[in-house]
């Protein structure tokens, strides 16, 4: 009888402070992610933050994160790095590139504070204009994560500005030129300069993978969703009205393909840790 390799996943989906949605519908995202894992018969544990990560990483080969605020501490980053080096795979989505944020006088938006997890993840969230429809360009159509997407696809989502922490080792999968939506002076007010834009002055990275020892990190900036509850008490400060319920990319076949491909690739190439 052939040996059966049993993979496990650990899913972290939640906001900060504990119990807060932080503007996202984590329940919906969690349900969709668990459904994709179940389709591949991959059992999963779940958490709202990284507090008990040391319990679940040793018995998992895949870590999936969809968070708005929670981030691993310096000690947890050390554990996560060792786990990655031993062959684990971290599929990080959307707000995972954020983390701790600080107030900036005169602005409603907050500035992301660089911590150890950004270096390990490979990117840091800066800001984003209001959600809109834009084209995503597939930079590497041959990669397993982007199979079946063609050269580009359209999606309605938050147009993320992320700063790559280690551009050289990163294998860029997805980029976008937001056009008029990319003119977002808030980024200069927050950080002094827009470090998300690439050398051509208009392109931004939305997805990449990078090797860490025997494992990998895959980050996809797409994935915003919210419901009326998660938007209560939040002011966008942009002058534009947000719909009460927004699932944009999650209703896109391209995003579903990306997630399914990423899970398949991670579990196919990651040996049990």
Q: What is the pLDDT of residues 29-62, one digit of tens each?
A: 999 999 999 999 999 999 999 999 999 999 999 9
pLDDT at position 235 is 47
List pLDDT tens digits, range 137-153.
999 999 999 999 999 99
Question: Tell me: the pLDDT tens digits for 215-266?
Answer: 999 999 999 999 988 765 444 444 456 788 999 999 999 999 999 999 999 9
The domains located in the chain, with CATH, are 9-269 (3.40.50.880)
6 pLDDT above the threshold of 80: no
Q: Confidence class of residue 271 from pLDDT cuts 50, 70 and 90? A: low
- The pLDDT value recorded for residue 269 is 64
- The pLDDT, as a whole number, for residue 238 is 45
Give the H or E element holding residue 209.
strand 203-212
DSSP string, 67-80: EES----HHHHHHH
Per-chain mean pLDDT for the chain: 91
Note the pLDDT of residue 234: 47
| Rg over CA atoms, the chain | 18
- pLDDT (0 to 100) of residue 103: 95
**Measured between alpha carbons, how far is 114 from 131 in angstroms, rounded to an integer?**
24
pTM listed for this prediction: 0.93
Contact 83, 273 (CB under 8 A): yes
Distance of CA 51 to the CA centre of its chain: 19
Rounded to whole angstroms, how far apart are CA atoms 152 and 143? 14
């Amino acid at each position: 009888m052939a040996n059966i390799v049993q993979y496990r996943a650990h899913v972290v989906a939640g906001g900060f402070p504990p119990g807060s949605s932080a503007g996202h519908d984590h329940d919906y995202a969690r349900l969709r992610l668990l459904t994709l894992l179940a389709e591949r018969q991959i059992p999963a544990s779940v958490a709202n933050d990284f507090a008990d990560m040391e319990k679940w990483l040793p018995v998992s080969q895949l870590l999936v994160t969809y968070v708005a605020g929670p981030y691993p501490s310096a000690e947890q980053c050390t554990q996560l790095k060792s786990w990655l080096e031993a062959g684990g795979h971290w599929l990080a989505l959307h707000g995972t590139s954020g983390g701790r944020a600080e107030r900036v006088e005169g602005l409603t938006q907050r500035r992301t504070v660089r911590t150890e997890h950004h270096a390990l993840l490979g990117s840091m969230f800066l800001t984003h204009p209001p959600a809109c429809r834009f084209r995503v360009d597939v930079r590497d159509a041959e990669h397993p994560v982007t199979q079946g997407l063609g050269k580009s696809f359209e999606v309605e989502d938050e147009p993320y500005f992320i700063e790559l922490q280690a551009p050289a080792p990163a294998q860029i999968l997805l980029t976008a030129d937001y056009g008029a939506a990319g003119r977002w002076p808030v980024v200069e007010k927050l950080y002094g300069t827009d470090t998300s834009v690439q050398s051509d002055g208009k392109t931004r990275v939305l997805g990449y993978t990078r090797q860490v020892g025997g494992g990998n990190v895959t980050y996809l900036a797409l994935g915003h969703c919210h419901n009326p509850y998660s938007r209560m008490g939040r002011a966008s400060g942009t002058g534009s009205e947000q719909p009460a319920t927004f699932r944009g990319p999650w209703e896109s076949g391209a995003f579903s393909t990306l997630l399914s491909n990423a899970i398949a690739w991670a579990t196919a190439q990651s040996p049990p840790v």
